[in-house]
Structure 1
């Protein structure tokens, strides 16, 4: 369902749809649309805008969505990497689990930092 909502927003000429439009176009319940949109918003693929005249949300996908989703995902992974490193320190680097967590945390930290730099470097492509 999430992929279907995402694709339908991508196919919208202006990248905008209401929940009612999504539900009607996809032939699904408004609750299904709500769950999908909440996930997409949390991951940075979609943002909500309020329609003040009709008092409803409009879901928007734009070129910045790709940058936002990469950054949100990277930050979440970086948090996990840092938690792994902290846990490795607590358990001790002389234990098998501590070493494994330290290696994983260090690897992820480096890869994600590179990814964030790359996203910033290439962001202008989306403008």
Structure 2
């Protein structure tokens, strides 16, 4: 209802409206919602070109259910943060985590940015904070952030009251990137299948391509099923 929370059906109608090229005002009119509600929803979940109704709903469920109790305040040693941790502890963990991300295939700078985001209690940082923490140029940070956004592992929002962008990581990030990986598998499988048809399925090359296509199709379906089971456990 107007003024209430967006429902899964509302989000599907938003996605359909964007696909048809409607503006935020027109979509909001169809939903009976303020234009600002639609614009915030789309911006928060990837923008007009990347908005997905299911992923947006999953992200909302995660945000609404995430209620981590704040640790009790204790007497802290001088030079530590509000939880009594030395800056070196956070920095060391970030470096080790970044190294593990890099070993899985991430380029080193996106790996460092992602590790820093996970080590931040807020789950968010600005570009300026990344420049200071990682001791790299703004252009290097911009390229790393662009890579992570393409993988749907992070999202950006305007930092309240400023012109700065703030980058966020949340628990639905791996759900989104799993779906992105499944989509990539679908494209590869389709191209391999086309190649098998063109070269001849009975030829060695065609047979090899056909096997690749079948494997990627099955793995992609398994990825989607697994991701949906995870989302179902959150009540999405």
Q: TM-score, normalised by structure 1?
A: 0.93
Tell me the equivalent position of 1:101.
209
Q: Which has the higher strand share?
A: 1
Higher relative contact order (CA 8 A, sep 6+): 1
The 3-state SS of whatever aligns with 1:35 is helix
Q: Is the 8 A contact 1:63 1:126 kept in 2?
A: no
Larger radius of gyration: 2
> Which of 157, 172, 176 is matched with 1:68 structurally?
176
Q: TM-score, normalised by structure 2?
A: 0.51
Q: Is the 8 A contact 1:49 1:59 kept in 2?
A: yes
> Which of 22, 31, 43 is matched with 2:139 structurally?
31
- Figure out how many residues of one structure are paired with residues of the other and give that number: 127
Q: Which has the higher helix share?
A: 1
The 3-state SS of whatever aligns with 2:121 is coil
Q: Deviations over 1:6-30 (max 9, x none)?
A: 0000111111111011111111111
Q: Using a 3 Å threshold, how does the CA distance of structure 1 residues 105 and 94 change in structure 2: closer, same or farther?
A: same
Shift of 1:64: 0.8
Q: Is 1:44 paired with 2:152?
A: yes
CA RMSD of aligned residues (A): 1.5
> Which of 115, 118, 130 is matched with 1:22 structurally?
130
Q: Is the 8 A contact 1:64 1:126 kept in 2?
A: no
CA–CA separation in structure 1 for the residues paired with 2:160 and 2:117: 21
Q: Is 1:119 paired with 2:194?
A: no
CA–CA separation in structure 2 for the residues paired with 1:124 and 1:15: 23
